[in-house]
Structure 1
């Protein structure tokens, strides 16, 4: 966050969201997310420790409104107005093509249905993917999660896409060049761009456009 005041507000929302989820104590909430003791959660809500994305995902799976915690809403969103999205820890893994069926689901996050609608996203076409490596530093960091719209695979609309390149999933900024070639760009300047020639396009499949980043929140 940009200031200590913002952090304090976020921590206050976290404590409120835990209570709104029906947990009377931090010990109750900790047991719900699989922690043997409440110390880890206590460290987070008091600001002594940063919360990883995975930690917040466990809270979300236990019914805590993480979107409210992150400041995405002025008030907590009722459960019936949230949409579950499957989150896969598979970015940069080989295999499986564009089908995610059969892949292990890391967790499920709930997002306000209105927010997804504002981005023009069909929940049935959205999946969450974990970012691996530093090639997209400046836009996406190692360990971030990103929501991918599988219905948007058109590189004419420049942006960051999830691709399958020679059997390997990658997240890259994509530009279509004259003649049908693709230019794959890493936002980290230490990585050189890669050109996919038209005759090699059979080895490339665009799986979807990256729309919403989910990073460290505290």
Structure 2
């Protein structure tokens, strides 16, 4: 990954982000993202916002030097297990199986809340590329189908406000009573293709008619190692 374009493309692929989605996260237009990815823009003025939205070190993203990830001590300060004046934005850790069998409206007071974490405003922006935690929940991934992108029992942030397909990315959805965590792509034929990052799991296609019956729980934002306290 010798260029900014290479590094950005890799990060977007890992997080399942389209150009339009990244543009929306950082408040720019999609053609601006395209120019970075194509190498036309070598020194984007929004480099800090891009790195923050993707949760990586600004210097690494810009130059390829140093550590890719933001210092763990800094990240730790951005969230805590106890609410205080600075850490006031809450994210609940939910039981993914119970959530999958819900009607799509997740009530944080239900028993499936396993733990809670509280974030600073900076933490939400840096880790999630958002300004609020509304509709965002943590889930433990019970499958190895998305390895190595998402390891079994990793905690992942999911935006449950996204209840429809909005472009390529990793989604949690319920189809015919079964929970799936797959990377979804819509083919030119209108068919949806569900892919696993783990090559041991073959892809499968879903017709547009069948996909209309699916309940999309949410779209994955990112996976990060967080140790939450069980209540």
- Give the TM interval when normalised to the shorter protein: 0.5 to 0.7
- Residue 12 of structure 2 corresponds to none
2:176 is the counterpart of 1:170: no
Task: Confirm or deny that 1:86 pairs with 2:92.
Answer: yes
Q: How many residues align?
A: 150
| C-alpha RMSD of matched pairs (Å) | 2.9
CA change 1:76–1:130 in 2 (3 A) is closer
Q: Any idea what SS the aligned residue of 2:96 has?
A: coil
Task: List structure 1 segments (4+ residues) > 4 angstroms apart after TM superposition.
Answer: 74-78, 91-94
In structure 1, the residue matched to 2:36 is none
Aligned to 2:193: 183
User: Helix, strand or coil: the match of 1:152?
Assistant: coil
Q: 2: CA distance between counterparts of 1:93 and 1:74?
A: 27
Shift in Å at residue 186 of structure 1? Answer: 0.7
- 1:132 offset after TM fit, Å? 0.5
- CA gap of 1:148–1:179, structure 2 versus 1, over 3 A, is same
Structure 1 pair 163–109 and aligned structure 2 pair: CA distance change class (3 A): same
Following the alignment from structure 1 to structure 2, what is the Cα–Cα distance between the partners of residues 132 and 141?
A: 9
Change (3 A) 1:122 1:196: farther
TM-score (norm 2): 0.56
Q: Which has the larger radius of gyration?
A: 1
Q: Which of 107, 119, 132 in structure 1 is aligned with 2:142?
A: 132
The answer to whether structure 1 residue 98 and structure 2 residue 100 are counterparts is: no
Structure 1 unaligned segments of length 5 or more: list them: 1-67
Q: Is the 8 A contact 1:97 1:164 kept in 2?
A: no
**Does the 8 Å CA contact 2:155/2:226 hold for their aligned counterparts?**
no
Question: Which 5+ residue runs of structure 2 have no aligned equivalent?
Answer: 1-69
